Amino acid sequence: MTSKKFVLFDVDGTLMDAVANQRRVWHEWAGRYGLDGDEVYAVALRTRPVETFAAVVPAEDPAACLALLHALEDEDVRTGTYTAFDGAAGLLGALPADRWALVTSNYEHRVRGRFERTGLPLPGLIVDAASVAEGKPSPVPYLTAAEKLGADPADCLVIEDAPSGVRAGLDAGMTVWTVNVPAPHPEAHRHFPTLSEAAPHVLAALGA
Q: Strand 100-103 relative to strand 175-179: parallel, antiparallel, unpaired?
A: unpaired
Decide if pLDDT at 19 tops 50: yes
Read off φ and ψ for residue 49, nearest 5 degrees.
-50, -45
| Rounded Cα gap, residues 160 and 185, in angstroms | 10
Residues 46, 143 within the same domain: no
Going 45 to 169 to 127 to 208, the CA torsion angle's sign is positive
Kindly report whether the peptide bond that precedes residue 49 is cis, defined as omega within 30 degrees of 0.
Answer: no
Is residue 143 in some structural domain?
A: yes
> Which residues have a Cβ under 8 Å from the Cβ of 178 and sit 6 or more positions away?
159, 160, 161, 166, 184, 185, 188, 190, 191, 192
The answer to whether residues 13 and 102 belong to one domain is yes
Domain check: are 103 and 198 in the same one? yes
| pLDDT, average across residues 63-69 | 97
| 165 and 73 in a common domain | no
Q: How many domains does the chain have?
A: 2
In the chain, the amino acid numbered 24 is R
Confidence label for 1 from pLDDT (cuts 50, 70 and 90) = very low
Identify whether residues 97 and 130 lie together within a single domain. Answer: yes
Distances (CA, A) of 122 to 16, 89, 177, 206: 13, 10, 21, 18
β pairing state of 83-84 and 16-17: antiparallel
Q: Are residues 97 and 163 in the same domain?
A: yes
Pair 102, 181 in one domain:
yes
Q: Structural domain of residue 197, as residue ranges? A: 6-17+83-206
Mean pLDDT of 25-44: 97
Question: What CA–CA distance (Å, rounded) separates 19 from 38?
Answer: 13
201: helix, coil or strand?
helix
Same domain (yes/no): 10, 42: no
For residue 92, what is the domain's CATH number? 3.40.50.1000
Same domain as 184, residue 114: yes
Task: Give the pTM.
Answer: 0.87
Q: Are residues 75 and 169 in the same domain?
A: no
Pair (155, 90) in one structural domain:
yes
Lowest mean pLDDT among 18-27, 40-49, 55-64, 113-122: 40-49
Task: Determine the pLDDT at residue 18.
Answer: 86
- Please tell me the predicted confidence (pLDDT) of residue 46: 78
Domain end point (choices 79, 101, 124): 79
Residue 137 has what DSSP assignment?
T
Residue 1 lies in a domain: no
